[in-house]
Amino acid sequence: MSDLLEITRRAAALAREKGATDASAGSYRARHVEVAWRDGKVEKVSEATTRGLGLDLYVDGRYAAVSTSDLRPDALDRFVEDAVALARTLAPDPHRRLPDPELYRGQAKVDLELDDPDYSKVDATRRRAEAEAIETAARAVPGASAILSVTTSVSDTRSESALVQTNGFEGERQGTDFWIGAEVAVQDPDGRRPEEYAASGGRFRSAMEAPEAIGRRAAERAIARIGTRKGESAVLTMALDNRASGRMVGMLFGPLAAAAIQQKRSFLEGKLGVQVGSARLHVKDDPLVPRGLGSRLYDGEGIAARPFPVFEQGVLKSYYVDTYYGRKLGIPPTTSRSSNLAWALGGRSQAQLLADLGEGVLVTGFLGGNSNGTTGDFSLGVRGFRVRGGRLAEPVGEMNVSGNHLELWNRLTAVGNDPYPYSAMRTPTLVFEGVQFAGT
């Protein structure tokens, strides 16, 4: 047993001592190191071991949640005492309870491989060398004379957490992650200084691409932005680059939360079992992917993690239901938030998809904008490339796309074979027909 689990047990016991009927205690400790490098030298090194504790308190049918980084025993004692007193001032809430302990059972018997044994091999010298190698590669691409500045970063984290719930759950986990990235700014002859980035990372160091590949990609992407113009307002086919499509997918998934459903703030309320997208929209939530960025054996409530379908051939199969809002809605919990998304992939690469679509826009990045989760209306700034004759043409920017999700996802005509590996959403390139672009 780790000392972190022991600390967490003591916090849960303290909550009971101070008058809580039940409690959920979670604590974490993480070591995070980040090196930022810019234009030939280290820009910043940040290094720390950080910690914190959170408690959900169930006090005579009332609820308060607290978190603190002040773990001195006396301070903690007073803090929990105050929090219990605070809870007692509130209105009772019959729906606030710890999960049914049945849901704790049946954790998958698999090794998710979230803790890289090579973590200890990373040292300051190696981080600096990688950060420098990214820049060197960026500055070696054709057209590099346009480069104004290269900022690179190398970071790693090892974290441990423990969760103890007084109705019979105890869990602890450890994990690592590693990231490298580059941002490259270039001079456009028109006076603009467009910037692009590339990043790679994962639970294991071995998941990362070579630093040189990231430097090259960031530089090539930035150079490709030179000459960006605003395109004309038109209804066009939109291909969403796999790196960008996560934003659009997030706007579809947010309203699947039981809180949004129960509070009537979801355009997906009442849509279970209903076709809300084209048959290409086929996505599973899979928490058990080895080395997955969203992988877990139990969720934040201690509920044993299981894969489940979210969309099957465009039909909505499940919401994300936590214990509290599940009780309010009278439906069983699934899990409170998404883990890894597993898409039914298409057979074609992005280049092939662009060749198929002929005329349109490849959107490579969003800028601001928002989506109204209640109505499904969205309006988002975009940049990318015009696609003409099935090939990438001029870069376009300062444009906008708008629509409604209930229409958009029905116009999903193709899904690429290229899940983005550096996000738990693992989104592929997505192609939508008939999207309103605003420009000139």
Partner 1 sequence: MNQDTAARPATQAGTSEGIGYFARFGVTERMIAQTLATALARGGEHADVFFQHRVGSDLGLEDGAVNRAYATVELGVGVRVVKGDQTGYGYTEDLSLPALLECARTAAAIADGPSRPIPERLHVRAGLPDRYPLIRPWEEIRPQEKLPLLAGLNERAFAADERIKKVNLFLRDESGAILIADSSGRIVEDRQPMTLLYLSVLAEANGRREQNGYNVAGRAGFDFYSPERLDRVVREAVARTTILFDAVTPPAGEMPVVLAAGSSGILLHEAIGHGMEADFNRKGVSIYADKIGKRIAQPFVQIVDDAANAGARGAINVDDEGNDAGTTHLVQDGVLTTYLHDAISARHFGVRPTGNGRRESYRHAPLPRMRSTYMLPGPHRTEEIIRSVKKGIYCMNFSNGQVNIGAGDFTFYVKNGYLIEDGKLTRPVKDVNIIGNGPQALERVDMVSDDLAIDEGGWTCGKDGQSVPVSQGLPTVRVSSMTVGGRGS
Residue ranges in 297-336 that form contacts with partner 1 under rule CB under 8 A: 328
Residue ranges in 376-395 that form contacts with partner 1 under rule CB under 8 A: 377-381, 383
Pairwise CA distance, residues 293 & 306, whole Å = 16
Pick the binder of partner 1 from 264, 273, 330, 347 (CB under 8 A): 264
Q: What residue ranges in 6-94 does DSSP mark as E strands?
A: 22-38, 41-59, 62-68
**Segment contacting partner 1 (CB under 8 A): 80-88, 249-257, 355-363, 411-419?**
80-88
Q: Which is nearer to partner 1, 39 or 394 (CB)?
A: 39
**Segment contacting partner 1 (CB under 8 A): 50-58, 102-110, 246-254, 339-347?**
50-58
DSSP 78-90: HHHHHHHHHHHTS
Per-residue x/- marks for partner 1, 218-247, CB under 8 A? -------x--x-x--x--------------
What is the dihedral angle through the alpha carbons of 11, 14, 16, 19, rounded to the nearest 10 degrees?
-130
Q: Which is nearer to partner 1, 107 or 402 (CB)?
A: 402
Q: Which is nearer to partner 1, 2 or 49 (CB)?
A: 49
Per-residue x/- marks for partner 1, 244-263, CB under 8 A? -------------------x
Q: Does 433 bind partner 1 (CB under 8 A)?
A: no
Please state the closest distance from residue 107 (CB atom) to partner 1, in A. 29
Residue ranges in 347-366 that form contacts with partner 1 under rule CB under 8 A: none
Q: Does 143 bind partner 1 (CB under 8 A)?
A: no
CA distances from 421 to 14, 348, 377, 424 (A): 42, 17, 28, 8
CA distances from 114 to 88, 300, 418, 439 (A): 40, 17, 23, 45
Please state the closest distance from residue 289 (CB atom) to partner 1, in A. 26
Q: Does 206 bind partner 1 (CB under 8 A)?
A: no
Q: Does 167 bind partner 1 (CB under 8 A)?
A: no
Residue ranges in 85-114 that form contacts with partner 1 under rule CB under 8 A: 86-87, 89-93, 96
Pick the binder of partner 1 from 3, 70, 77, 123 (CB under 8 A): 70
Give the residue ranges of DSSP H helices in 225-291: 245-253, 258-262
- In the structure encoding, which two tokens stand for residue 331, read together? 């439906």
Q: Which is nearer to partner 1, 349 or 436 (CB)?
A: 436
Pick the binder of partner 1 from 3, 6, 47, 394 (CB under 8 A): 47
Pick the binder of partner 1 from 16, 19, 31, 68 (CB under 8 A): 68
What is the helix (H) or strand (E) element at residue 325, kind and residue range? helix 323-329
- In the structure encoding, which two tokens stand for residue 315, read together? 């039909």
**Segment contacting partner 1 (CB under 8 A): 185-193, 197-205, 354-362, 416-424?**
185-193
Please state the closest distance from residue 261 (CB atom) to partner 1, in A. 12
Q: Which is nearer to partner 1, 300 or 439 (CB)?
A: 439
Pairwise CA distance, residues 247 & 370, whole Å = 10
CA distances from 299 to 251, 271, 305 (A): 22, 25, 6
Q: Does 50 bind partner 1 (CB under 8 A)?
A: yes
Residue 367 CB coordination number (10 Å): 12
Question: What are the backbone dihedrals phi and psi of residue 242, each rounded to the nearest 5 degrees, phi first?
Answer: -60, -30
Largest CA distance in the chain: 71
Q: Which is nearer to partner 1, 69 or 145 (CB)?
A: 69
Q: What residue ranges in 271-390 does DSSP mark as E strands?
A: 283-285, 308-312, 315-316, 341-343, 360-371, 377-388
